[in-house]
Amino acid sequence: MVAQGTLQDGMDSSASSPAVRTEGLSKRYGRRAAVDGLDLEIPAGTVTGLIGPNGAGKTTTLGMLLGLVRPSSGTGTVLGMPIERPARYLSRVGALIDGPAFYRALSGYENLVALAHAGNHDAAQIPGLLETVGLSGRAHDAYRVYSMGMKQRLALAAALLGDPALVILDEPTNGLDPAGAREMRDLIGSLGRAERTIIISSHLLPEIESICSWLVALDHGRALYQGPVNGFQTGSSAMLLIAPEAAEDLPLLEDLLLEMGLRGHVRGDALEAEVPAEQARSLAAEINRTAMARGCVLVELQIRRRTLEEAYLELVAGASG
* Residue 119 · residue 105 · CB < 8 Å: no
- How far apart, in whole angstroms, are the C-alpha atoms of residue 215 and residue 231? 9
**3-232 and 237-305 in the same fold:** no
Protein fold of 237-305: Alpha-Beta Plaits (3.30.70)
Query: Which residue, among 215, 212, 206, 218, has the nearest Cα to 47 in the 3D structure?
Result: 212
**Domain parsing of the chain, residue ranges:** 3-232, 237-305
Question: Tell me, what's the pLDDT at 47?
Answer: 93
Closest CA to 50 of 192, 208, 221, 210: 208
Contact present, 242 and 298 (Cβ < 8 Å): yes
Q: What is residue 204's predicted lDDT score, i.e. its pLDDT?
A: 77
pTM: 0.77
Q: What are phi and psi of 147, to 5 degrees?
A: -75, 170
pLDDT of residue 175: 81
pLDDT of residue 9: 40
Profile the chain (321 residues) by mean pLDDT over runs of 10 residues: 44 65 96 94 93 89 95 96 95 86 95 94 95 94 94 94 93 85 86 81 79 90 89 74 94 94 91 88 94 95 80 72 57
Tell me the helices (H) and strands (E) count for the chain, helix number first.
10, 15
In this prediction, residue 13 carries a pLDDT of: 39
Question: What is the 8-class DSSP label of residue 165?
Answer: S
Dist. CA 188–CA 92, nearest whole Å: 18
Contacts of 293 (CB under 8 A, 6+ apart): none
- From residue 5, alpha-carbon distances to 35, 115, 118 in Å are 21, 39, 40
**Residue 6 has what pLDDT?**
41
Topology of the domain covering 3-232? Rossmann fold (3.40.50)
